[in-house]
Amino acid sequence: MTNNVYIEQKKNKVAIEFFEVCKKFNKIYTLNNINLSIFSGKVIVICGPSGSGKSTLVRLINRLEKFDSGEIFVYGKPISNLKGNNLRKLRMNIGFVFQKFNLYSNLNVLNNVALSLIQIQNWKKEKAYQYAIEKLKEVGISNKTHSYPHELSGGQQQRVAIARVLASNAKIIIFDEPTSALDPEMISEVMIVIKNLSYHKITMIVVTHEIQFARKIADQVVFLSSGKILEQSDPENFFSNPKHPRVKKFLKKILFPLK
């Protein structure tokens, strides 16, 4: 299939398309022949055992990592050869929420959210601050505008990170294990925020071990193991009727850890 035909078939309904994507580290496949369609406005949960390639997969989407072969299309356009301004435009449309928050410790909450609007998108400060406050309200933390990251809990810091992504007006948001650095009591507040975002029909890719959350929020669940997609389906079928033996084993350990 030629690139032009492939793009024409996909561009109207698919936000992201992996086409036979491979990634190696030290000649070992981290991702092997990945084929995956992520539809606009849907929530995709990527799950699987540690070291399966989940974080690597999502980091390829905005070229934080390069892939060795195959192609990734974002809204029908191949990204493998993007450079300079074109790569910057791609990343402006893809928000990334990291495990470790990645807030600027020397800036307060308001400036953490407004910074890219002022410096990259050239907004006037007053407009940027007003918009940043709106996004902080969306994640339930507008009362912390003048606080600094070290004064916040982990859950609050992660909500600031989400507000910063929302302020960028990204069409796609990637969450790379957004609760892995949080205490158990903080996890639910972040999960609620992400769930609320799903109602806005933003395309979201969520790497998570929070299986019960995945069950509630996902439109599609993708199981990755040893760099390969072993199963992908809607949550109902994935959790109640898994097909692959490795998926069955994984779910048994996650859902019934003491048995």
pTM (predicted TM-score): 0.88
- Residues 17 and 37 placed together within one structural domain of the fold: yes
How many domains would you assign to the chain?
A: 2
pLDDT of 15 higher than 90: yes
- Domain holding 151, by residue range, is 103-170
- In DSSP notation, 37-66 reads EEETT-EEEEE-STTSSHHHHHHHHTTSS-
- Residues 123 and 72 placed together within one structural domain of the fold: no
User: Which residues pair with residue 223 across a beta bridge?
Assistant: 47, 231
- What's the pLDDT band for 161 if we cut at 50, 70, 90? very high
Per-residue pLDDT, averaged over 134-142, amounts to 94
Instruction: Calculate the average pLDDT of the chain.
Output: 89
- What's the pLDDT band for 3 if we cut at 50, 70, 90? low
- What's the pLDDT band for 204 if we cut at 50, 70, 90? very high
User: Could you tell me if residue 128 is inside a domain?
Assistant: yes
